[in-house]
Amino acid sequence: MDARKPSLKRTLGIVDATSIGLGAIIGAGIFVVLGVAAGASGPGVVISVILAAVVSSFTAMSFASLGSTIPKEGGAYEYAYELLSPSLGFLTGWMWIFGQLVGGAAVSLGLAEYFSLFIPIPIKFTAVAACLLFTILNTFGVKESSFANNVMVAFKVGVLCVFIVVGIPHIQIANFSTIFATKFPAIINGAALIFFAFLGYGRITTLSEEVKNPRKVIPLSILLALGISALLYLLVSFTALGIASSEELSNSGSPLADVMKKTGNDLAVALVSLGGVIATISVLLTTLLGVSRVVFAMSRNRQIPERVNAIHPKFCTPYISILLSGILMALIALLGDLKQVLSLATFTIISTHVLVNYSALKIKGGTFIVPFSPIPQILGIVSCSALALSLLLEVWLEALMVVSVGTTFYLAYNRFAGNKREGT
């Protein structure tokens, strides 16, 4: 191996890795989805938050186990590639990339809509500009991107803490009088909605080769990110429901900001509104970080063109995969009708979580955090499969098309690459 060849650098510590997880998890979702969940489960939304956190922990344990066992760039893709088969690995990466690119484009458009409230710039232009801006930042170095994310995570966590502290004195205990009267199906429905606000802890694993002491830091950071976000979500939902009724929350497009208005604290209202914007920016940044590393890993395993895994000699980043990911996301934001494919993107991400749990069942031995047990993996497969089954039939048909396109590309590229290697 050429010692002069540029390589990825291990620059991320436990704070950086945990922050990447929090940056991916605590997005605009908690600033908006709480109202939707309150409409589904009423006062029982607090129980829904707890249930969603428990269900999320099953797959988080699988990611933690795999992260300590296979600390390689690519996360879910690499696990399926090594423990299941190259073909299942490719499909896992294909679906992960599709879901993250569409989700990231949707986040960029959401950010643009927020921004247009302050400066009247066309939404599509702002969304594309945001994608390209964070693509450039990612290219300059993972440490620089991580620092920016750390600042944003500290701010949005601080905003949620302000929401809790300011709101607690205004809580009315009477709002919880019917919490245990909520029917179980309603609680499940609310939990399914909130579950998606917990997704993101797996993004830490996509940067495994850029994390210091990854066998310990990766699993610990995954569980810390999920634990911190779960505690914040629980306290936020308890505070919100204690101040406003579930009906008021469900009828609001910005429930946390509206709850703060009831306290009469204008500064808190402004901070919470700004927190939603910063949360959106942080999610977009970490999405680009994660998806570019999956593209890099697939290229390194020769499942897409090898030129894509080039590492910049100065910045030590997989700059071609970053540029490719950012440009694709910008194009989707510019040209795509995301309302029609967001459910499909969600389906593909859930599907990769099923494969992650299945991959974890193949691990031999223990992990840094807990002794090996198949129970979390089995529960993860069951819970994620149940969520996938709850989606409409048309989403399944669209997913079949995505898988068919991926399979066709995989077979065609394998044949082309094989013929090229034989000819050289």
Q: State the CATH number of the domain containing residue 348.
A: 1.20.1740.10
- Report how far residue 246's alpha carbon sits from residue 34's, in angstroms, rounded to the nearest whole number: 10
Mean pLDDT of 260-273: 92
pLDDT at 370 over 80: no
> Do 198 and 222 touch, CB atoms closer than 8 A?
no
Does 423 map to a domain?
no
For the chain, how long is the longest CA-to-CA vector?
A: 77
Query: Cα dist. 366→68, 217, 409 in Å?
Result: 9, 16, 37
pLDDT: which is higher, 1 or 350: 350
Q: What is the pLDDT of residue 32?
A: 74
Q: Does the pLDDT at position 3 exceed 60?
A: no
Phi/psi for 211 (5° steps) reads -110, 135
Query: Which of residues 84 and 176 earns the better pLDDT score?
Result: 84
How confident is the model over 91-149, as pLDDT tens digits?
A: 999 999 999 999 899 889 888 887 887 788 898 999 999 999 999 999 999 999 999 99
Kindly report the pTM of this predicted structure.
0.91
- Helix 28-41 and helix 45-69, axial crossing angle in degrees, nearest 10: 130
Kindly list the distances between the CA atom of residue 233 and the CA atoms of 54, 57, 103, 359, 417, in Å, as whole numbers in the listed order.
13, 14, 21, 29, 48
Distance, in Å, from the CA atom of 112 to the CA atom of 46, rounded to the nearest integer, reads 31
C-alpha span between 356 and 170 (Å, rounded): 43
Average pLDDT, whole number, for the chain? 89
pLDDT at 369 over 70: no
d(CA 370, CA 61): 9
Residue 9 lies in a domain: no
- The reported pLDDT for the residue numbered 368 is 47
Residue 341's pLDDT band, with cuts at 50, 70 and 90, is confident
Q: Is the pLDDT of residue 365 over 80?
A: no
Q: Which two tokens stand for residue 178?
A: 């019917």
pLDDT-wise least confident of 61-65, 244-248, 336-340: 336-340
| Angle between the N-to-C axes of helices 14-25 and 214-243, in degrees from 0 to 180, rounded to the nearest 10 | 40
Domain membership of residue 372 (yes or no) is: yes
What is the sign, positive or negative, of the torsion defined by CA atoms of 224, 229, 234, 235? positive
Q: Range of 126's domain? A: 14-413
Q: Identify which of 34, 22, 59 has the alpha carbon closest to the alpha carbon of residue 154.
A: 22
Banded pLDDT at 252 (limits 50, 70, 90): confident
Which residues on neighbouring strands pair with residue 211, listed in sequence order? 12
- Please state the rounded mean pLDDT for residues 59-69: 93
Least confident of 35-49, 236-250, 370-384: 370-384
Indicate if the pLDDT at residue 324 is higher than 50.
yes
DSSP state, residue 154: H
Confidence of residue 419 (pLDDT cuts 50, 70, 90): low
In a domain, 420, yes or no: no
Distance CA 388, CA 381 (A): 10
- Please indicate, yes or no, if residue 6 is contained in any of the structural domains: no
Three-state secondary-structure class, residue 410? helix
Q: Per the structure, how many domains does the chain have? A: 1
164, 239 in Cβ contact below 8 A? Answer: yes
